[in-house]
């Protein structure tokens, strides 16, 4: 198992070295967002454990599965920029950006606003439907080719982890009204 991890890391480093300057800059910009996000999630997790604040199960699912989702997004991005660089059309790339910027980011922002008022559950459900619709369209249209099997596996894992995180967050925010969050924030 350890040998496979070392080989996978070596392959990733080799792929990064083969990328052009623009792709490398995108990669490091992506890491600049991903690493602090993962560290923040780990901080919240460890802080809740150390301070013995009992949080609902969705809180822990969001953190643990969210970290897995973030790593899978990075792996998918690497696959797009290296292995499948010629297989991905500009149209497919635009779809990915649309999913992220028009669906994913507004969805996360609206989920945060649910903490302030249950009224924000309405845009949250709208952005959930929009994001899922765009992602399903992308999967059915662009990700069914046999030659992109590695990417398909990554996408299936992304779907499982993304939907688990989203459902956990929806449940915690809308139905539990972010139970435990104020106690955790008071300790900060």
- For residue 3, being part of any structural domain is answered with no
The C-alpha atoms of residue 59 and residue 162 are separated, in whole angstroms, by 14
- How far is residue 123 from each of residues 114, 127, 164, measured CA to CA in Å? 9, 6, 20
**84/86 Cα distance (integer angstroms):** 6
Q: Where residue 144 falls among pLDDT bands split at 50, 70, 90? A: low
Instruction: Kindly state whether residue 181 falls inside one of the protein's structural domains.
Output: yes
Is the pLDDT reported for residue 4 higher than 60?
no
* Domain-embedded: residue 115: yes
Percent of the chain with pLDDT over 90: 2
Asked whether residue 114 is domain-assigned, the answer is yes
In the three-class reduction of DSSP (H, G, I as helix; E, B as strand; rest coil), residue 145 is classed as coil
Q: Where are the alpha helices (DSSP H) in the chain?
A: 2-18, 21-50, 57-81, 90-98, 105-113, 121-142, 149-170, 181-187
Look up the pTM and report it.
0.72
User: Residue 144 domain-assigned?
Assistant: yes
What is the mean predicted confidence (pLDDT) over 33-41?
77
Residue 60 lies in a domain: yes
Residue ranges making up the domain that contains 118: 21-187
Say how many domains are in the chain: 1
Give dist(CA 174, CA 151) in Å, integer: 33
Looking at residue 170, what DSSP letter applies?
H
- Closest by CA position to 110, among listed 96, 134, 98, 126: 126
């Amino acid at each position: 198992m350890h040998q496979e991890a070392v080989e996978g890391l070596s392959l990733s480093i080799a792929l990064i070295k083969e990328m052009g300057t623009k792709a490398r800059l995108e990669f490091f910009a992506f890491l600049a967002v991903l690493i602090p996000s993962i560290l923040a999630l780990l901080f919240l997790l460890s802080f809740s454990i150390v301070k013995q604040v009992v949080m609902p199960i969705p809180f822990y699912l969001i953190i643990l599965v969210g970290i897995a989702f973030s790593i899978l997004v990075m792996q998918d991005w690497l696959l797009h920029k290296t292995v499948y660089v010629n297989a991905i059309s500009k149209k497919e790339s635009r779809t990915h950006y649309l999913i992220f910027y028009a669906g994913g980011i507004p969805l996360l922002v609206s989920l945060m606003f649910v903490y302030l008022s249950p009224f924000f559950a309405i845009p949250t459900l709208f952005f959930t439907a929009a994001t899922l619709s765009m992602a399903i369209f992308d999967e059915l249209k662009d990700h069914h080719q046999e030659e992109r099997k590695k990417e398909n596996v990554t996408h299936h894992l992304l779907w499982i982890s993304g939907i688990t995180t989203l459902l956990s967050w929806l449940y915690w925010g809308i139905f539990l009204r972010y139970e435990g969050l104020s106690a955790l924030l008071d300790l900060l």
